[in-house]
Amino acid sequence: MNIKEVAAYAKVSVATVSRVLNDDPSVAPKTSEAVRKAIAETGYVRSALGRNLRRAQSDVVLVVLPNMNNPFYADIAEGIDSRCKDYGLSAMACNTYGSHEKLEYFCGFIEKRQARGVIIVSAPWKRDYSFLEGLPVVGCCESREDMPCAQVDIDNVQAGYDATKYLISLGAKRIALIGGGEISPSNIKREQGYRLAMRDAGYPIDESLVVNNCYNYEQGSAVAKRILNASPDALFAAADEIAVSFINAAQDMGISIPDELKIFGFDNVHYSTFVKPKLSTIDQPRYEMGVQSVDQLMRVLEGKKARTVMCQYKLIRRGSTEKGVL
Amino acid sequence: MNIKEVAAYAKVSVATVSRVLNDDPSVAPKTSEAVRKAIAETGYVRSALGRNLRRAQSDVVLVVLPNMNNPFYADIAEGIDSRCKDYGLSAMACNTYGSHEKLEYFCGFIEKRQARGVIIVSAPWKRDYSFLEGLPVVGCCESREDMPCAQVDIDNVQAGYDATKYLISLGAKRIALIGGGEISPSNIKREQGYRLAMRDAGYPIDESLVVNNCYNYEQGSAVAKRILNASPDALFAAADEIAVSFINAAQDMGISIPDELKIFGFDNVHYSTFVKPKLSTIDQPRYEMGVQSVDQLMRVLEGKKARTVMCQYKLIRRGSTEKGVL
DNA sequence: CTGAAAGCGCTTACAG
DNA sequence: CTGAAAGCGCTTACAG
């Protein structure tokens, strides 16, 4: 069933059917009604292919993200979904699994006219991003200088600084840092913040307490013993999952939290409250960051100047750093 | 830049450019080379819109799922991604947030010609699924009789039976059941399996130990005290998140696990090993289920008979049910 | 208020 | 081996 058949069924021209489909007010009420009746009776569904080809634009926004394992992305996606709907667009998520080739492949959907724009959530960490130049693309999280597009993020240097300063305010002096990928922009910034705060407090950093390239629970557990044996009095992990691995490792070693060791994470994922004590962490406004990403993408699409947006994070105090706190 | 301009640039017809684009072997090597050069020099990217309209098909498979919060879906998505690639298709994920309207909306992409087919992961729980009749759609998880399409799932009745029987084999007699949605097909089946196993063992079910509509950690925590005060000797939760909430609640009440209470979950999500003791659970072959879903979808698209596939699950024994087990 | 016609960017039988 | 032409399903100026 195509528009021509519906037109014949309703005894009008295809132009008229098209006008009804597009709510053109110039169509006479009676004609419009007849066409709607024909559409209903035939079960006709307009082909987006014909329409999009003719209008030279798609109504799909691609959300390109590393994978769906991290629930951190879920709220961002929800913000994107919601705001896209406001603009009459549909968001669809594609996984790169960290592959730069896949990122390029999905961005290619713009040029192939299958997507109106792309929101890149936590871009893979290496490589050249110059191919994004001029494309309707917005980055969300893992913002970086060499990405030629508007980006949405939090101030990770400040967040790392705040977290460390908070631990210091609780009396910590020997603070371990367990970081993620050495080339991850956010990780680099969080470490910068950590180092600034330690310097400002006048505390030396014991480099044996600093570890990087620690991505998941298993890797955290693997280095935990060595770090904990060096007796830090606090620990700042660049991800909640790592922090949780240290909570467990510390408890196995009979180290009491938060008395002997304060542990601080990052991201406030839902299971950060499943552990005991509950994890203190940084909460990023994930949903809002998704919304902002769409807004900036729309600015690009409308030819307006898009800008890089820094969102407000929250420091969440819980039992892993303070006794008696929820 | 369109195919016409490339043709002019290469001094050939658009037909020839199209043939080169489609690797038609009838094109003379020299001509082909010249066209490829033109494409490279002009930076031409073929419009998928024109191509898809002409060929009357899209190369996108929509993966419709409730949300991205549950890492359970991540592995399914990865299996789908991987298998789609084998078929030259691109998988894109869309969230319904449990809305039946959104499910219908996304399935509409098939009729709008924007998607070749749809894989519905964990369909929303109520309503009429007859609109799927005849569409190239496959269901994955939460399989149901009234869904007129091929489906991929595990045998949830048997899994519930096995889990319960396993707890019984460890000496449990008063086994609590904490279920999810009362109208979720998988939940209903797991409870069936539980009841069958209890009956086969000749143990009565204390209905005060059976709870449903318990979806998340908070809801688990909310009912935990009442259930635990009724002193079950084991507990089967229809989701790991619920099981974890009970591990924590039991420990708060001074109940020792697994000695006084054995706890069993479902799904083997990654944080089921973050807790202490580690959680015994049922592991579904998520990746494989994703792969199978694509295979069945391809059968539908090729006009072959697709079938409903039951995958093998694994019962994972850990410390929440047995002392000394990893 | 409505219709005939051009055209979006491709692919593919058909003819040569 | 290559090109001219039709046509996929729409939208939209243009004419009336």
Per-residue pLDDT tens digits for B182-227 = 889 999 999 999 999 999 999 999 999 999 999 889 999 999 999 9
Distance from CA of A52 to the nearest CA of B (A): 7
With contacts defined as CB-CB under 8 Å, which chain B residues touch A250?
A: none
The DSSP code for A98 is T
**Strand nucleotide closest to residue B44 (CA to C1'):** C9
How confident is the model over B290-308, as pLDDT tens digits?
Answer: 999 999 999 999 989 988 9
List protein-proximal bases of chain D (any atom < 7 A from a CB).
1-5, 7-13
With contacts defined as CB-CB under 8 Å, which chain B residues touch A98?
A: none
**Which structure tokens are listed for A64?**
């390109």
CB A147 within 8 A of CB A91: no
- Side-chain half-sphere exposure of B138, counting CA atoms within 13 A: 30
- The answer to whether strand C lies under 7 Å from the CB of residue B22 is yes
Which regions in chain B score pLDDT beneath 50? Answer: none
Task: Tell me the average pLDDT across A227-254.
Answer: 96
Give the one of B69, B90, B112 whose C-beta lies nearest to A47's C-beta. B112
Task: Tell me the average pLDDT across A186-215.
Answer: 96
Pairwise CB contact (< 8 Å): A45 & B111: yes
Instruction: Compute the Cα dihedral for A92, A97, A98, A103 and give only its sign.
Output: negative
Pairwise CB contact (< 8 Å): B47 & A276: no
pLDDT given for residue B70 in this prediction: 86
Give the one of B45, B81, B114 whose C-beta lies nearest to A48's C-beta. B114
A145 CB-contact burial (10 Å; exposed 0-12 / middle 13-18 / buried 19+): exposed
Give residues lining strand D (CB < 7 Å).
Answer: A 2-4, 14-15, 17-19, 21-22, 44-47, 49-51, 53-55; B 11-16, 19, 26-32, 50, 53-54, 56
Q: CA of B123 and C1' of D6: distance in angstroms?
A: 43
Q: CA of B189 and C1' of C7: distance in angstroms?
A: 56
Distance from CA of A199 to the nearest CA of B (A): 34
Confidence tier at A215 by pLDDT (50, 70, 90) = confident
pLDDT given for residue A107 in this prediction: 96
Pairwise CB contact (< 8 Å): A71 & B70: yes
How confident is the model over A45-80, as pLDDT tens digits?
Answer: 999 999 999 999 999 999 999 999 888 999 999 999
- The answer to whether strand C lies under 7 Å from the CB of residue B253 is no
What gap in Å lies between CA A193 and CA A175, rounded to an integer?
A: 13
Chain A interface, best mutation among B3, B110, B114, by max A CB count within 10 A: B114
Q: CA of B114 and C1' of C2: distance in angstroms?
A: 30
Residue B8 gets the label, from left (phi > 0), alpha (psi -120 to 50) or beta, of alpha
Pairwise CB contact (< 8 Å): B276 & A244: no
H-type alpha helices, A154-258: 156-169, 185-201, 217-229, 240-252
- What is the number of CB-based contacts under 8 A between chain A and chain B? 120
